[in-house]
Chains A and B, each alone.
Chain A
Amino acid sequence: MGSQELLEIFKNEAEEIIQNLESALLTLEDNPDDETINNLFRYLHTMKGSSGIAGFGEVSEFAHHVESLADKIRSGELAVSSDIIDILLRAVDWFKAKIFDPESGYDFELNRQLILDDLASIGNHIPVKEKKEELNVFRIRIKFREDIFEYGTDPLILLEDLYVSSDEIVEWNVSKEKLPDLDQMDPQKVYLCWKMIVKTKLSEKEITDIFLFVKDDNDIDIADITDSYEEDDDIDIVNENNRLGDLLLKKGIVTEDELNSILQLQDYKNKKLGELIVEKGFATKKDLDKALQVQGKIRNKIESSTVRVDTHKLDNLMNLLGEIVIGQSAITRYADELDDDTGYSLKNALYGLDRITREFQEQIMSIRMIPIGPTFGQFKRFVRDSSHKLGKSIKLEITGEDTELDKTVVEKISDPLKHMIRNSIDHGIESSEERVAAGKSEEGTIYLDAYHREGNVYIEIKDDGRGLDRKRIREKAVDKGLLGKDEEISDSRLISFIFHPGFSTAQQAGEFSGRGVGMDVVKNNIEALRGSVDVSSEEGRGSVFKIKMPLTLAIIDGMLFRVGSSTYIVPLLSIVESIQPKKEEVQTIEGKGEVVLVRGKYISLLRLYDFFSEEPDNKNPWESLLIIVEADGRHMALMIDDLIGQQQIVIKSLDNIITNKKSVSGAAILGDGKVALILDVHGLVKDFSFEGVAK
C-alpha cells in the first residue's frame, strides 16, 4: 500500500473520529454516562494509534496526553465539567487543524502548549464516582490475516484498545507457533495469535466494536462467558445458533425429549416456547431470563456484522446497472419489432427482468442511504460555541436523526444547514434579556428535524426567536429596486427576497452573518441538489425553514419529450400540466418577451427549438404543445413538439461538457443508445420566467 493511500485511509478515519469525539464531548457535558466516557477514551486511543501509523507523530503524541486526561475521567479521578469539555474541544480543534488544514496559519505549537498547560492544571479535581463492580467476562480468540498491514491497520492498536478497556486480565496468551525464525520471517506479515479471558465493564457490543473494521476479514471470536464463568464454561456463544430451545438444551436446563415435547405442544398452543417451558416446569423463570439474555447478546453480535464499502464501488455498481437498464430497453425495442408470438414471449420475459432490475436498483440505492444524525450532531458544537461567543443562551434540539438519505445529499446539505443555523443564532434568537422582556424563556431553542414524506426528505430548521422583520425586508427590497414603493406583494413573495443575492436586513454585519452573502448561496446549493426551501415566519414567535430534497440524486422520474429530432427530459415533479394554447393566448410583452395566458396569468413562453437550435415540426405555439413547469412558486411554459412518456431515469453527470449549465442538469442514455438532456427547471425559471396577472 502506498503512503498516499495510507494517508487517505487515515484522513477518512480521522474525520470520523473527530466527529465522534465532538459528539461524545457534547453528550458528556449534558450526561456524563459511562458509555460515552468509554467511547471518548476509545476515540482518542484510536486517534493516537492511527495517526502514529500514518506518520502524524505530533498528533499521536498529543492524543496520548489528551487520552491520559480521558483515562482519569474514565477511572473516576476527574469530574466532568464545562472547563474540561472546553479544553477537550480545543484539543479536537487542534487535531482537526493539524490533520486537515496544516497550512492554516494556526499556531500549532503555541496552542498545543496552552492546551497541555490547561490539561495539567486541571489535575486537582475531586473524584466523582466509585468504580462499578459488575464486570462482564469475555473469552476472545484472535488471529489476524497475515497481510493486514497492507490494509493500513496495525493490529497492535486494537489489542491495546482491548487491553486498556479490560478491568482485569484473567488470561492473556500469545501464541508464537506461526512465528518463523528471524531470518525466515517477512516482518511485514502478522504471525502472532492471541487467546485471552478479560473482565471489563464494556458490553459485548463495545468489545466487538473494537474490532468492528477487521472482524469480517480476520478470525476473531468474542464470547461473553459472564454467566458461565466460575461456575461452568459450557455455553459456546460463538455458535450463532440463537434459538432459545437450543440454548437451554446446551446449558443442560432442558433435555432433548423435553424440548421436543414442548415444540410439539407449541404447534397447537398459541404460546411462546419460553412460557411453555416454564409452565411445564422444565425450567425456572430465572433460567429462562438468563437464556433470553444470552439470546439477545448473540442477536446483537449477528446484527453488528457490517462491512465498509468504498462509495465509488457503489457508484460503479449503479452505473453498471444503468447500462443493464439501457440494454434492456434496447432489447424491448427489438421485441416490439418481432412477430406476435415470439415478441410476446420475449416481452413477458423482459417484464420479469425489469421487475428484478428495479428491485436491484432499490437495493443499491438503499446501501447508499445513510442517516442524517451525524450531520445534525456536528451542529451541537457549532451552536454551543457560536452562542457562547455572542453571549446568547441557545440550545439545539434534534429529532429525526435516523432519517436516511443518499450519502451525496447528506454530504452536500451540511453547508446550507450550517448557514441557516448561523442565521438563527445571529439574527433569529434574541438575547436572554430581550427574550425575558418579551415573556419568553431565557434560553432560545433551535430545532432540527428530518423526516420522509411522499418520496422526499424534509429537513426543518426552526427557531423560537424574533421571526423575520417584514417591514425591514420591504424597505430593503424597495431600496434595492426589487419592489415598487407601494407595490402590493404576497407574503411568501416578500419573504422570498431574503434569498436574493446581496440581501440582508441585518442592521450590522455580525461575525456570523449579516453581510448579505449567504441565503442566495444556500438556496442555490439546495436547488443544485434538486431541492427547494420554503420559509414561514411569525413575528415574535420564530421562523421555520423547510428544505425538501429528493431521496437520491442518481435517479429521477422524468417525462420524455421531443423537440425536432432530439429527446429531452423534464423531472416529473416539476411538471404542472401540458396544454395546447389558443392563438390569442400567446402574446409578446415589451421587456418581458413572449408570454402565454394560462388560467388568468401570463407566464413566460420558451421556444425550446430556438433555445437548443432544433428544427421543430411547427413554429406556432398554438399548433404545438406547451409543458407548464414550476419552480420556486413560479411557472413557465416550454414549447415542445411531442410528449413521449414517463420513465425512470438514471442521471449521468455532464460535468463541464455543456456550457449552459443553468438550463441542463444532466443527461440520460435512452434504450436506443441516444443521449437525452435533462432540463434544469430551476435554472430555466430563474433565467426566463416572468409572471403577471392578466388585466
Chain B
Amino acid sequence: MELFGDPAVWLPWTFAALMGVSILIYVVLDGFDLGVGILMPLAEDAEKDRLVASIGPFWDANETWLVLAIGLLLVAFPPAHGVILTSLYLPVFVMLVGLILRGVSFELRAKAPLSQKPLWNGAFFAGSLMASLSQGFMLGMYVMGLTWTLPHLAFALLTAVFLTVGYSFIGAVWLIWKTEDRLQKRSIGWAKGGIWGLILGIGAISMATPYVSARIFDKWFSFPELLYLSPLPVISALLVMFVWWQLSRMPLQNDRWSWTPFAAAMALFTLAFCGMAYSFYPYVVPEQITIYEAASAPESLFIILLGTIFVLPAILGYTILSYFIFRGKATDLRYD
C-alpha cells in the first residue's frame, strides 16, 4: 500500500479516476442507446425493429457502467454519495423510472402481443427521454454546486435539453455506422439535426463553470495553464468541423468512413469530460467535499482495488469481444 506514497492520497485519486472513466464510458455507451430510444418516434414502423436491434446485444452491459460508476461513488466516497443523491432525490427518481420503463419495454415490445407493440414503443421512447432529460438536469445542477435556486434550476433545464439532443446525435451517428440504405440516409439527417445540442451543451457548461467558481476560473485562465489547456477547445472545434464535413458528404461509396462520425462523437464527449474533470478536481461534491475528505478507509479501498485490478481488464476484454461478435450492420434480433 505504501508503494505509491501515502495511501490516503493515491487510493482516493485512483478511485476518482476509475469512477471518472466509468462515468465517461457510461455516457458514451448508454448515450448512444438512449439516443436511439429518443429517435424512435422519428423512425417508420418498419425501421423501429432495426433501431432496437442495433442496440439489442449491448444495452444491458452499457447500463451496467452506470451501476459501476454509482457503485464506486457509493463504496469509495460514501459521504459524497449521500450528499449528492439526497440533493438530487427527484431527478434521480425520474431517471430511475425512465431506465425501468425503457429496459422493460425493450423486452416487452418484442414479446407482448402485436397489438400492444405501439404502447411499448411509446414507453421505450418516454423512458429514454426521461432518463436523458434527468441526466442532463443532474449534470446542470452538479455544475451549479447542487444548490436549488431559480437561476440554477433554469440552467439545469437548459443542460437537460442540450444533453438530450446531444444523446440523440450520438444515437444517430451510431445508426449511421450500424445501418444501411434508407435508414442510414435518414440517420445522417437526424445527426445533422442533433449536433447543435452537443455543441451548445459543451459550450454552455464551458462558459458557466468558470463563472460559478473563482477557483475554477483561476485554474483555466492563468498563465501557463491556458497554454497547456488550449488543445482541448481547439481539438473539439476541429472534431465538430470534421463531423459536419463528413455528414455533408455521406453516404460514401462502399460505406467507407461510416464509423468516423461515431468515433469523433466519442472523442468529443471524452474531451468535454476531461475539461470538466480538470475543473472540479479535487472536489467530488463541488466546492464542498474533496475526494480525500470523502474517501473510505485506505484498507477498504485497497481491498476493492485488488478486485478491480483483476476484474477491470476482464470487463474491458469481453466488452470488446461482445462488440466484435456483433460487429457489422445490425440484423434482426433472433434468439436462435
Instruction: Indicate whether A and B interact.
Output: no
